[in-house]
């Protein structure tokens, strides 16, 4: 038996945040659920040499085939999520709690003459208002300790309350400041009931009005030099903050919702789908999506919802869907989901309260998943080697393309034409070797590509480029690529092939990748090369193409902003704020030059006189 597990995560993949981890067998069944304050530190114990592990632990990790984790915001959230999943999946390697009881609740006995707050596992107290569950008894007591500092309500037993009310002497908890009920002889039954109502209102929604009221009183006391009262209000504010920071993983018991946390970059997106049923997080589903560069967050959400619910049973569609941003066709999506579910479905953004906190947790997990996806695909030496080998075989190259240069053309309605060159060596980006080109005159994209490649290939034969730099190394621009790649189909490839022939560098391999079907084109070939959608070679080419596109757009935007800012600074009386407003409105000097005085004057802060001055200045250029 090998001394290391095949599914052991790579160095640096496991986050150092608190969270819950799950071991699964080959059939996907959850074998063990655990929690950790530091996931990396805790999980490293399971991946120690097998001979050093306890027999039971060794049997669990060798039975498992994979490990996954979910990051949460605090240790309390980790405790709650661990409990929920142990109850849900009953993993065979998890032990039961010794008392084998449900987790405790905080309850307010509203049916009593003077309601009191208690810790209980009994969920059937008549007339009681419940909050929780809490993962540990100490967590409930901590919450009560903080709350009674702000809302001093009754905590004593029924017998103590009756004795105090009969004798007129405060109950013992009241004597030591632990009870604020009428038995403490400080408030009446009616006043106490009002405090109880505030207590419940706060815990029901974390009502911010209490924080605002205490903040106002604290400032007023400080202004009146009543520092003792100000300190008391300050302490109450700290108690409120402590309660508001409690877990977001337990919601209203009647809440059924699906919540989607999303993290994205130019190349990919990670989605964390939290399934909330009966107020509990019943499961987490993770998806990584390869996406186009120009897709918006709203469009991404639209696609995700269609993919998740397109084949879902009506029972699997909840009444509420929480997303980070609303799709443009949210009304149509709601109608579609209502038809599939047979009942009303709402799509909304979680903006405040516990739902917003849960959205933060889901988003944090999506960010972790996206980072993990990028790390595994780009830093995995085996995957990079496989990508280069597959690319060599697919394109019929004599050797693996260790240095690849990719080119992309970007323009704005035929103006502001720029090109980008990005470099990958050994499957990794070399950003210090990226280059950008400005193209003054061109007829179309193929002509632009031809111009740029002639300019770049000329540097391979430039004597100045062959001379060593001061450190004894050749200038990087003189390194020839094994593979030259262009963003586009057969026309762009033909233009690049013409440039290679004219420059006398036919030894450099050439290909292009077209977005429509992600087909790979070679010069003088009638049909494209179709790589498998899951191949590492296609992923590498896509990443090159998208990186070149991103770099070209970034350069174009910087240049456009610089050009328009430079021109506008020459207009008398036009400051930076109004220049930025014009830039946002028109986007380029060309568009601004074509605008009328009336159109320019519509920009906030730009009057007719200034608009006329802008037009005159642009006409002179």
Give me the pLDDT at residue 616, please: 78
Question: In terms of domains, do 56 and 125 share one?
Answer: no
Question: In terms of domains, do 109 and 238 share one?
Answer: yes
Residue 560 lies in a domain: no
Give me the pLDDT at residue 348, please: 92
Query: Does pLDDT of 248 surpass 50?
Result: no
Convert the pLDDT of each residue in 504-523 to its tens digit: 888 899 999 887 667 888 98
Confidence label for 65 from pLDDT (cuts 50, 70 and 90)? very high
Residue 1 lies in a domain: no
Confidence label for 354 from pLDDT (cuts 50, 70 and 90)? confident
d(CA 523, CA 499): 12
Domain boundary among 54, 89, 124: 89
Are 407 and 486 within 8 A, CB to CB? yes
Question: In terms of domains, do 193 and 291 share one?
Answer: no
Confidence label for 565 from pLDDT (cuts 50, 70 and 90)? low
Give me the pLDDT at residue 260, please: 93
Overall pTM > 0.85: no
Query: Does pLDDT of 380 surpass 60?
Result: yes
Q: How many domains does the chain have?
A: 5
Residue 9 lies in a domain: no
Convert the pLDDT of each residue in 95-138 to its tens digit: 543 333 455 777 889 888 889 888 887 777 888 887 755 655 66
Query: Does pLDDT of 594 surpass 80?
Result: no
Question: In terms of domains, do 396 and 455 share one?
Answer: yes
Question: Nearest-CA neighbor of 281 among 441, 85, 49?
Answer: 85
Q: Using CA atoms in the order 251, 71, 20, 204, what is the torsion angle rounded to 10 degrees?
A: -20
Are 557 and 496 within 8 A, CB to CB? no
CA 522 from chain center: how many Å? 38
Are 23 and 66 within 8 A, CB to CB? yes
Give me the pLDDT at residue 101, please: 44
Task: Give the pLDDT mean for 535-560.
Answer: 79
Question: In terms of domains, do 195 and 119 share one?
Answer: yes
Question: In terms of domains, do 289 and 141 share one?
Answer: no
Question: In terms of domains, do 233 and 278 share one?
Answer: no
- Among left, alpha and beta (phi > 0; psi -120 to 50; other), residue 204 is alpha
Between 556 and 106, name the one with better pLDDT: 106
Query: Does pLDDT of 55 surpass 70?
Result: no
Query: Does pLDDT of 613 surpass 70?
Result: yes
Question: In terms of domains, do 157 and 206 share one?
Answer: yes
Task: Give the pLDDT mean for 390-401.
Answer: 88
Task: Give the pLDDT mean for 10-31.
Answer: 89
Give me the pLDDT at residue 81, please: 80
Question: In terms of domains, do 423 and 519 share one?
Answer: yes
Domain boundary among 38, 65, 89: 89
Q: Which of 374-378, 481-485, 501-505 bottoms out in mean pLDDT, i.e. has the lowest?
A: 374-378
Strands, E assignment, 311-469? 320-323, 346-349, 403-412, 415-425, 428-429, 435-438
Question: In terms of domains, do 418 and 501 share one?
Answer: yes
Domain boundary among 219, 244, 269: 244
Task: Give the pLDDT mean for 144-169.
Answer: 84
Q: Which domain holds residue 149?
A: 105-244
Give me the pLDDT at residue 405, please: 93
Convert the pLDDT of each residue in 445-485 to its tens digit: 888 888 889 988 888 866 565 555 555 555 566 678 899 99
Residue 449 lies in a domain: yes
If you average pLDDT over every residue of the chain, what do you get?
79
Task: Give the pLDDT mean for 246-256.
Answer: 60
Query: Does pLDDT of 263 surpass 70?
Result: yes
Confidence label for 390 from pLDDT (cuts 50, 70 and 90)? confident
d(CA 365, CA 145): 32
Question: In terms of domains, do 72 and 114 share one?
Answer: no
- Token couple for 146: 């903080």
Give me the pLDDT at residue 286, please: 75
DSSP character for 178? -
Between 198 and 134, name the one with better pLDDT: 198
Residue 74 lies in a domain: yes
Question: In terms of domains, do 124 and 203 share one?
Answer: yes
Residue 590 lies in a domain: yes
**% of the chain beyond a pLDDT of 90:** 9
Give me the pLDDT at residue 24, please: 92
Convert the pLDDT of each residue in 158-168 to its tens digit: 888 888 888 88
Convert the pLDDT of each residue in 431-447 to its tens digit: 888 888 888 777 788 88
Query: Does pLDDT of 284 surpass 80?
Result: no
Q: Half-sphere exposure of 205 toward its Cβ, with a 13 Å CA cutoff?
A: 8
Residue 41 lies in a domain: yes
Residue 99 lies in a domain: no
């Amino acid at each position: 038996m090998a001394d290391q597990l095949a599914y052991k995560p790579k160095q640096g993949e496991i986050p150092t945040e608190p969270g819950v981890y799950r071991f699964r067998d080959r059939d996907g069944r959850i074998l063990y659920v655990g929690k950790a304050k530091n996931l990396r530190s805790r999980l490293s114990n399971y991946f120690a040499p097998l001979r050093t592990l306890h027999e039971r632990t060794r049997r669990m990790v060798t039975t498992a085939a994979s490990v996954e984790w979910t990051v949460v915001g605090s240790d309390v959230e980790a405790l709650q999520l661990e409990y929920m999943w142990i109850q849900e999946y009953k993993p065979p390697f998890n032990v039961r709690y010794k008392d084998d009881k449900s987790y405790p609740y905080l309850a307010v006995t509203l049916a009593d003459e003077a309601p009191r707050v208690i810790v209980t596992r009994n969920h059937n107290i008549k007339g009681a208002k419940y909050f929780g569950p809490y993962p540990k008894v100490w967590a409930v007591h901590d919450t009560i300790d903080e709350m009674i500092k702000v809302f001093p309500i009754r905590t004593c037993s029924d017998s103590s309350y009756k004795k105090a009310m009969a004798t007129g002497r405060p109950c013992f908890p009241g004597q030591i400041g632990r009870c604020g009920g009428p038995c403490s002889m400080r408030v009446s039954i009616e006043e106490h009931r009002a405090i109880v109502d505030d207590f419940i209102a706060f815990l029901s929604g974390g009502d911010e009005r209490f924080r605002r009221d205490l903040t106002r009183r604290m400032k007023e006391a400080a202004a009146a030099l009543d520092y003792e009262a100000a300190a008391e209000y300050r302490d109450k504010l700290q108690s409120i903050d402590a309660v508001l920071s409690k877990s977001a993983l337990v919601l209203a018991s009647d809440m059924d919702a699906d919540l989607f946390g999303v993290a994205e970059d130019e190349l990919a997106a990670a989605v964390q789908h939290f399934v909330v049923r009966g107020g509990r997080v019943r499961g987490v589903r993770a998806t990584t999506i390869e996406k186009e560069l120009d897709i918006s967050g709203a469009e991404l959400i639209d696609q995700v919802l269609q993919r998740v619910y397109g084949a879902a049973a009506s029972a699997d569609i909840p009444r509420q869907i929480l997303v980070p941003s609303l799709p443009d066709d949210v009304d149509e999506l709601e109608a579609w989901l209502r038809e599939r579910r047979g009942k009303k479905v709402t799509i909304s953004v979680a903006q405040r309260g516990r739902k917003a906190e849960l959205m933060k947790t889901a988003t944090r997990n999506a960010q972790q998943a996206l980072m993990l996806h990028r790390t595994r695909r780009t830093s995995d030496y085996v995957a990079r080697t496989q990508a280069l080998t597959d690319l060599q075989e697919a394109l019929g190259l004599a050797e693996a393309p260790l240095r690849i240069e990719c080119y992309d053309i970007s323009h704005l309605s035929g103006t502001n034409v720029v090109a980008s060159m990005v470099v990958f060596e050994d499957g990794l980006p070399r950003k210090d070797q990226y280059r950008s080109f400005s193209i003054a005159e061109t007829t179309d994209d193929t002509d632009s590509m031809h111009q740029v490649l002639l300019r770049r290939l000329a540097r391979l034969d430039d004597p100045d480029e062959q001379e060593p730099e001061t450190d004894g190394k050749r200038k990087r621009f003189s390194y020839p690529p094994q593979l030259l790649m262009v963003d586009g189909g057969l026309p762009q490839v033909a233009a690049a092939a013409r440039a290679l022939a004219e420059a006398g560098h036919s030894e450099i391999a050439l290909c292009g990748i077209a977005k429509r079907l992600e087909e790979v084109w070679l010069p003088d070939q009638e049909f494209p090369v179709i790589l498998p959608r899951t191949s590492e070679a296609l992923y590498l080419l896509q990443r090159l193409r998208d990186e070149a596109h991103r770099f070209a757009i970034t350069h174009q935007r910087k240049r456009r902003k610089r050009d328009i800012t430079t021109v506008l600074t020459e207009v008398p009386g036009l400051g930076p704020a109004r220049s930025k407003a014009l830039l946002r409105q028109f986007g380029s000097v060309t568009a601004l030059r074509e605008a009328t005085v009336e159109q320019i004057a519509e920009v906030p802060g730009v009057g007719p006189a200034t608009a006329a001055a802008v037009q005159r200045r642009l006409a002179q250029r």
